[in-house]
């Protein structure tokens, strides 16, 4: 029998679940179709949340092993209990995914487990995730509005054979049963650097192969270069300008030594010319982190007349409406940065626009954070973007080395950089490499949301001694007025 709702959301990641909750708050009768048994999508189950649990845990291990003596804390033998570290991660994931279940109950949101597919006229069918002879007949749902929030998956390229054995994605790298002797990471983006850091801290040799001549494409080049130096000092080996042309699982040369039956073989070429990149690398694990691709297969897009763009994304207008009446899309399946918080903003804007007439996302003020140690965070324009757009800017920069709190923490690497319009002083971009950069960037985002000038930030009283004083000092630096440098 067909069930009727005001809204059907397909996908329960940060885009979909937030849209469902907000719509329920505004009085809609909401259904959510999700194929996984746990809610929360990639972010909560196999992305942001478990990676942060492992980053935190591995950093503590590393600190206990190498970083406490300077504080006068003597620790005896430090051992890694990887299963315990993994259960910490699993508990964190469970608490988060169960939390969403609770919020769904509170909002009286009806949940359907299975694969949702558009079949036209406001209808969605839900097929059991395990398709087969015995699977129950598909359920049929109907609603005035349908929201696609199906997210993304690891991008694949020919030649790189992901089989989940020695060659895997972040999903496998979040659950290795022992630190790989040698881990090769393909791609120096956020995923590669975060998970590369985790396993490096836990004892693996980590080699990062990157096509471009720099790490973290999209981030400010100067900050990325400084981050690369710090990460290299921590033990990550970078091979830039290197294109991976093949990676595949092979039988381990000495299984009893490797402790596992498989290894991987990686072949590279130089990025710019088809010159062989030297001897193939034989390693224990390969983490493929070369970007993500939208999840749009078997969604019935062709049935309702939606054509994806050349990158597989769903085109939408400023109200997140697709070309099919009553069908909307948000998050990683549409254009823009593939970030959980971007999807959440779009979710709220999309739903509120239906019911209040307002709803807007400021794409110029979406922060990006890479949770390495130290963290790397940015919002707004990079220097390269401003130069490319011929926008005259002034720059203020302040090192954590000159910040009292950072010295007390023994975390003095990195800097804050503020870029302000040369004519109006309006803040155009803020880039931070340093301790808790991911938290510090929030002040910069709020300042930009309010259209602040560097002078506004410079004249705002910051508590002393805090890491946040570096922002004030960098803002003072825009006009050459920093006090502590
Ligand atoms: P990415 O797009 O950030 O970086 C991928 C890197 O792989 C690029 O530098 C690219 O040049 C390189 N690459 C591509 N093909 C290659 C090849 N054949 N050989 C060598 N290098 C190659 O992708 P990533 O790290 O997989 O992240 C995917 C998405 O998830 C991104 O949009 C990212 O922003 C998001 N994400 C964000 C996180 C955060 O905010 N902390 C954490 C994890 C993911």
Mean pLDDT computed over 258-272 = 85
Query: What's the pLDDT at 429?
Result: 98
Mean pLDDT computed over 62-80 = 96
**Beta-carbon contacts of residue 19 (< 8 Å; ≥ 6 apart):** 7, 9, 147, 149, 330, 347, 348, 350, 351
- Annotated active-site residue 464? The verdict is yes
Of 138-142, 219-223, 290-294, 328-332, minimum mean pLDDT range: 138-142
Query: What's the pLDDT at 138?
Result: 82
Rounded CA gap, 117 and 297, in Å? 10
Average pLDDT, the chain: 96
What is the 332 CA–ligand 1 centroid distance (Å)?
A: 14
Nearest Cα neighbor of 59 from 351, 306, 371, 315 is 371
Q: Name beta bridge partners: 237.
A: 207
Query: What's the pLDDT at 379?
Result: 98
What is the 154 CA–ligand 1 centroid distance (Å)?
A: 9
Does ligand 1 come within 6 angstroms of the Cβ of 188? yes
Mean pLDDT computed over 303-321 = 97
Which structural domains are found in the chain, ordered by start? Answer: 2-152+294-361 (3.50.50.60), 167-290 (3.50.50.60), 365-477 (3.30.390.30)
Residue whose CA is at the smallest distance from ligand 1 atom 6: 187
At 227-263, the pLDDT tens digits run 999 999 999 999 999 999 999 999 987 655 545 689 9
Q: Which of 66, 360, 464, 484 is catalytic?
A: 464
Q: Name beta bridge partners: 154.
A: 292
Query: What's the pLDDT at 271?
Result: 85
Does ligand 1 come within 6 angstroms of the Cβ of 292? yes
**Beta-carbon contacts of residue 272 (< 8 Å; ≥ 6 apart):** 241
At 155-213, the pLDDT tens digits run 999 999 999 999 999 999 999 999 999 999 999 999 999 999 999 999 999 999 999 99
């Amino acid at each position: 029998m067909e069930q009727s709702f005001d809204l059907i959301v397909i996908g329960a990641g940060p885009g979909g679940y937030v849209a469902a909750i907000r719509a329920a708050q505004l009085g809609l009768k909401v259904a959510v179709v999700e194929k996984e048994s746990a809610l929360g999508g990639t972010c909560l189950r196999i992305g942001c949340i478990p990676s942060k649990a492992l980053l935190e845990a591995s950093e503590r291990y590393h600190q206990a092993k190498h970083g406490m003596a300077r504080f006068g804390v003597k620790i005896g033998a430090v051992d890694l209990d990887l299963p315990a570290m993994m259960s910490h991660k699993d508990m964190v994931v469970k608490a988060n995914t169960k939390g969403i279940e609770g919020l769904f109950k509170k909002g009286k949101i009806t949940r359907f487990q299975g694969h949702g597919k558009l079949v036209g006229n406001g209808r969605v069918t839900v097929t059991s995730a395990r398709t087969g002879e015995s699977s129950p007949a598909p359920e049929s749902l109907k609603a005035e509005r349908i929201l696609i929030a199906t997210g993304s998956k690891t991008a694949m390229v020919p030649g790189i054979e992901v089989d989940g054995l020695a060659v895997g994605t972040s999903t496998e790298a979040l659950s290795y049963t022992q630190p790989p002797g040698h881990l090769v990471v393909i791609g120096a983006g956020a995923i590669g650097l975060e998970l590369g850091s985790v396993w490096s801290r836990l004892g693996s040799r980590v080699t990062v192969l990157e096509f471009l001549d720099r790490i973290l494409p999209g981030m400010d080049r100067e900050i990325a270069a400084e981050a690369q130096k710090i990460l290299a000092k921590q033990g990550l080996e970078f091979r830039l300008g290197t294109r991976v042309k093949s990676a595949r699982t092979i039988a381990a040369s000495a299984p009893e030594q490797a402790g596992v039956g498989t290894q991987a073989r990686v072949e590279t070429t130089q990025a710019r010319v088809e010159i062989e990149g030297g001897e193939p690398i034989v390693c224990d694990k390969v983490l493929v982190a070369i970007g993500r691709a939208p999840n749009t297969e078997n969604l019935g897009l062709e049935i309702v007349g939606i054509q994806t763009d050349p990158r597989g994304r769903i085109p939408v207008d400023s109200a997140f409406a697709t070309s099919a009446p009553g069908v909307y899309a948000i998050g990683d399946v549409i254009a823009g940065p593939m970030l959980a918080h971007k999807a959440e903003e779009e979710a709220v804007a999309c739903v509120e626009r239906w019911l209040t007439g307002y709803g807007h996302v400021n794409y110029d003020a979406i922060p990006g954070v890479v949770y390495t140690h130290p963290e790397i965070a940015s919002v707004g324009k990079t220097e390269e973007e401003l130069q490319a757009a011929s926008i005259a800017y002034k720059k203020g920069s302040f090192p954590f080395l000159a910040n009292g709190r950072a010295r007390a923490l023994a975390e003095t690497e990195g800097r804050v950089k503020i870029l302000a319009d040369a004519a109006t002083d309006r803040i155009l971009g803020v880039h931070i490499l340093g301790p808790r950069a991911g938290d510090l960037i929030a002040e910069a985002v709020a300042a930009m949301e309010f259209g602040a000038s560097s002078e506004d930030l410079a004249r705002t009283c910051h508590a002393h001694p805090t890491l946040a004083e570096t922002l004030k000092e960098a803002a003072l630096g825009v006009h050459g007025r920093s006090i502590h440098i």
